[in-house]
Amino acid sequence: MLSLTSTGTELRRFRRGLLPKAAIAALILIPLLYGALYLWAFWDPTGRLDRLPVALVNSDVSATRDGVTVHAGDDVTEKLLQSGDLKWVQVDPATAEAGVKAGDYYFAVTIPASFSSDVVSAGGDDPTSARINVTYNDANSFLASTLGKSAMTQVRDAVAESIGQQQVDQVLVGLGSARDGFAQASDGAITLATASGQLASGAHQVADGASTAATGATSLASGAASLAKGASTLASGATTLDSGAATLATGAGQLAGGAHDAADSAATLASKTAEVAAGVHQTNTSVTALAGSLNTFASGLPGLVGYLQTRAAAGDSDATAQLTTLMANMSKLPTTEKTTAMLSGLSTLDTGASQLAAGAGALSTGLGTLSAKSADLAAGATSLTSGTSKVATGASQLAAGTATLSAGASDLSTGVQTLSSGAAQVADGTDKVTGGAQTLGTSLAAGTTAIPDDSSTVRTQRAATISDPVVLSNEHMTAAQGFGEGFAPFFLSLALFVGSLITWLLLRPVPTRALAGPASNLRVALAGYLPAAAIGVLQVAVMLTVIHVGLGLTMASAWGTVALTLLVAATFIALQQMLLALLGGAAGKVAILAVLMLQLASSGGTYPVETTPLFFRAIHPLLPMSYAVTGLRHTITGDLGAAALWQSVLVLVGVLIASLAVTVWRTGQLRTWTMARLHPALSL
């Protein structure tokens, strides 16, 4: 820089003093300031949306789904607050509305009371997409509304994904329930089939048991018949034995009567008597053995009778008939007394025969008669032998019949057991058949209920709800017609500030001739201000006319926009006049450019000021263009009743008055001339 100022160039006049050198530095730094400040301010505005204040209202009322309470609004609110995507501020509906209107919040998000019920409606009869209401106010910031819509689209997608999963899960749960119902129905059918198999098996076992029982009963009947036949034969043999014994007694009497006639034949009588004694002894032995068999048979009869009585009492008609026959045959058997008497007689006979053999010699006189009657004795012995044979045969048949009866009874017992087991399986299978049929019916009914029975309209509605579970309902307190209207407040303010700068390039902020006159400081300051203000009025008139007529800008309040634009122009002119009066022409213009650059980055005319670095957020409320932009937003897009508009008016009027006051004060100082003023180090 020193080499440049030391040469014979135009820059040589900047070598004297500090201010000219500072001016050179400013010339070098101005492009950097424009580029660096703008890039710094708007380097990543979308990455700083978490500083954008947004009202969040949760008016949701919980709903119930499958017995479970659903708080979808609370869930969404919690997720939004935890996400940090925007500067969510949870407030009540009235505060949200007032805040959006006043500019405290750029927009408001409201979760309505029906949110949870709409969420759970996907599986109901009236599927409805859940709705999130968003209220914008473009008078606060058109670009903030635009960014908000973009952010809310992402929020909606995130919420829709979560809600959509719940809704699809709800429908799938219904189908899953239906599947479970049909699975249970399948289990019931399998149980029914298994039970049917068991029932069939049990039925076969019952049939087999019944057949075995029938066979056993037949064997029992056959054995009983054999027993009856044997008993009958035994009775007949006993009768014959009794008759033979009587004949034998008669013959013996006759033999005794004719004993004296056999005296001559003693030897023969002795021989025959010995044979008789041997025969009697043998008969006595046989009869005694037969009596023992009869006693054994008699001891077994009560058990047989008891069994047949039990079967008869159970309703067995065959047993009843057999019992009757047995009792009838038993009455024909000799009584115990008769048998005992017969055995005693035979014993006595045996003894007598022995005595007879011993006294054969003494009976020699009766051998003749004995010989004559021996035929009768032989006949009686023959009858006795025949009867004894029949008794033996009857006893054998009775034993065989008893064995057959025992086998039949065993078969009958086995058959009855098999029949009982089969009957138990039949009963168990019947219970399972009943349970399986009930499970099948219940499960099919539950599965049928779980599957939605939708009409074509409801199916279409349900599909639309699942595919788009959450919708945004956008509402604008005030809406800009487009980017032109949205950015008009910023560009109008910029144009008026640049217009004021151009004006002061041509006009002097404090007329030099007026300073030498007797006019008051106020009049001198106004003498410089009023011509520039007049030009500012013309700038406003031309600019608004062309923008309205040529570009089609519509204004919510035309006269309010005109009045505020005139106030902005007047304020900017007064501010720049003050800077020029304080700092001089050259330094003042550099200061004006610096203020312009700072205002462009901090006014919030494009991106919301909350998305800028801290420095710009700190100077935002200190610079007039911030209020010019805010005020024009309300006159062009909003309404005249907004508090922010009147705050902007008051600040602009304050800056206007303060700037004029400083200019008046500086005018008094400028009436004194110095060498520095006569030969300024830097001039433009």
Q: Check residue 170 and give its pLDDT.
A: 52
As a whole number of angstroms, the distance between CA 680 and CA 23 comes to 13
Buried/exposed code over 165-193 (b: 16+ C-beta within 10 A; e: otherwise): ebbeebbebbeebbeebbebbeebbebbe
As a whole number of angstroms, the distance between CA 22 and CA 424 comes to 117
Dump the DSSP string for 126-178: S---EEEEEEEETTT-HHHHHHHHHHHHHHHHHHHHHHHHHHHHHHHHHHHHH
Comparing 344-353, 513-522, 588-597, 627-636, the range with the smallest average pLDDT is 344-353
Comparing 226-240, 322-336, 519-533, the range with the smallest average pLDDT is 226-240
Q: Check residue 649 and give its pLDDT.
A: 96
Q: Check residue 327 and give its pLDDT.
A: 75
Give the residue-averaged pLDDT of 593-606: 88
What φ, ψ does residue 137 adopt, rounded to 5°?
Answer: -140, 100
pLDDT in tens, 151-161: 777 777 767 66
Q: Check residue 380 and give its pLDDT.
A: 64
Q: Check residue 605 and give its pLDDT.
A: 81
As a whole number of angstroms, the distance between CA 619 and CA 622 comes to 5
Give the residue-averaged pLDDT of 365-383: 60
Residue 73's pLDDT band (cuts 50, 70, 90): confident
Q: Check residue 428 and give its pLDDT.
A: 67
As a whole number of angstroms, the distance between CA 453 and CA 447 comes to 12
SS3 content of the chain, % helix, strand, coil (to 5): 80, 5, 15
Q: Which of 221, 405, 215 is nearest to 321 (CA)?
A: 221
Q: The tokens of 345 are what?
A: 């007689």
Give the residue-averaged pLDDT of 313-319: 80
Q: How many helices (H) and strands (E) does the chain have?
A: 20, 7
Residue with the bigger pLDDT between 440 and 329: it is 329
CA neighbours closer than 13 Å in the CB half-sphere of residue 645: 20
Range(s) within the chain of domains with CATH label 3.40.1710: 46-180+453-477
As a whole number of angstroms, the distance between CA 440 and CA 192 comes to 9
pLDDT, mean over the chain: 73
Q: Check residue 665 and give its pLDDT.
A: 93
For strand 107-111 and strand 63-65, is the pairing parallel, antiparallel, or unpaired?
unpaired
Q: State which of 77-91, 195-209, 338-352, 382-396 shows the largest mean pLDDT.
A: 77-91
Give the residue-averaged pLDDT of 656-665: 95
DSSP at 477: E
Give the residue-averaged pLDDT of 377-405: 63
Cβ(480)–Cβ(138) under 8 Å? yes
Comparing 57-66, 127-136, 249-258, 495-504, the range with the smallest average pLDDT is 249-258
pLDDT in tens, 615-630: 989 999 999 999 999 9
Question: CA angle 362-364-368, nearest 5°?
Answer: 150
| Predicted confidence (pLDDT) at residue 114 exceeds the cutoff of 90 | no
**Alpha helices by DSSP H, 266-313:** 266-313
As a whole number of angstroms, the distance between CA 638 and CA 557 comes to 8
In this structure, which CATH number among 3.40.1710, 3.30.2010, 1.25.40, 3.90.550 belongs to the domain 46-180+453-477? Answer: 3.40.1710
Q: Check residue 7 and give its pLDDT.
A: 42
How many percent of the chain have pLDDT more than 70?
50
For strand 107-111 and strand 87-90, is the pairing parallel, antiparallel, or unpaired?
unpaired
| Predicted confidence (pLDDT) at residue 349 exceeds the cutoff of 80 | no
Strand order in the sheet with 130-137: 87-90, 53-58, 107-111, 130-137, 470-478
Residue with the bigger pLDDT between 339 and 675: it is 339
Comparing 137-146, 317-326, 511-520, 599-608, the range with the smallest average pLDDT is 137-146
pTM across the whole model:
0.52
pLDDT in tens, 438-451: 765 676 566 556 55
Q: Check residue 57 and give its pLDDT.
A: 93
Q: What is the dihedral of CA 162, 92, 475, 151, to 10 degrees?
A: -40
Q: Check residue 303 and give its pLDDT.
A: 76
Residue 538's pLDDT band (cuts 50, 70, 90): very high
Q: Which of 206, 38, 164, 110 is nearest to 612 (CA)?
A: 38
Q: Check residue 203 and give its pLDDT.
A: 60
As a whole number of angstroms, the distance between CA 465 and CA 455 comes to 15
Q: Check residue 1 and give its pLDDT.
A: 43
Comparing 414-428, 561-575, 653-667, the range with the smallest average pLDDT is 414-428
CA neighbours closer than 13 Å in the CB half-sphere of residue 299: 5
Q: Which of 145, 65, 137 is nearest to 103 (CA)?
A: 137
Q: Check residue 6 and give its pLDDT.
A: 45
Give the residue-averaged pLDDT of 533-542: 92
| Predicted confidence (pLDDT) at residue 70 exceeds the cutoff of 50 | yes
Residue with the bigger pLDDT between 571 and 20: it is 571
| Predicted confidence (pLDDT) at residue 272 exceeds the cutoff of 90 | no
Buried/exposed code over 130-145 (b: 16+ C-beta within 10 A; e: otherwise): bebbbbbbbbbbbbbb
Give the residue-averaged pLDDT of 89-106: 88
pLDDT in tens, 220-237: 567 656 656 765 665 576
Residue with the bigger pLDDT between 114 and 196: it is 114
pLDDT in tens, 245-261: 566 567 656 655 654 56
Residue 2's pLDDT band (cuts 50, 70, 90): very low
Residue with the bigger pLDDT between 314 and 543: it is 543
Residue 47's pLDDT band (cuts 50, 70, 90): confident
Q: What does each C-alpha distance from 80 to 56, 96, 99, 157, 544 come to in angstroms?
A: 9, 16, 19, 13, 42
| Predicted confidence (pLDDT) at residue 266 exceeds the cutoff of 70 | no
Q: State which of 28-42, 94-108, 334-348, 405-419 shows the largest mean pLDDT.
A: 94-108
| Predicted confidence (pLDDT) at residue 394 exceeds the cutoff of 90 | no
Q: Check residue 457 and give its pLDDT.
A: 65
Residue 648's pLDDT band (cuts 50, 70, 90): very high
Residue with the bigger pLDDT between 128 and 550: it is 550
pLDDT in tens, 404-457: 656 665 665 676 576 566 656 656 666 665 666 576 567 656 655 655 555 666
Give the residue-averaged pLDDT of 564-584: 94
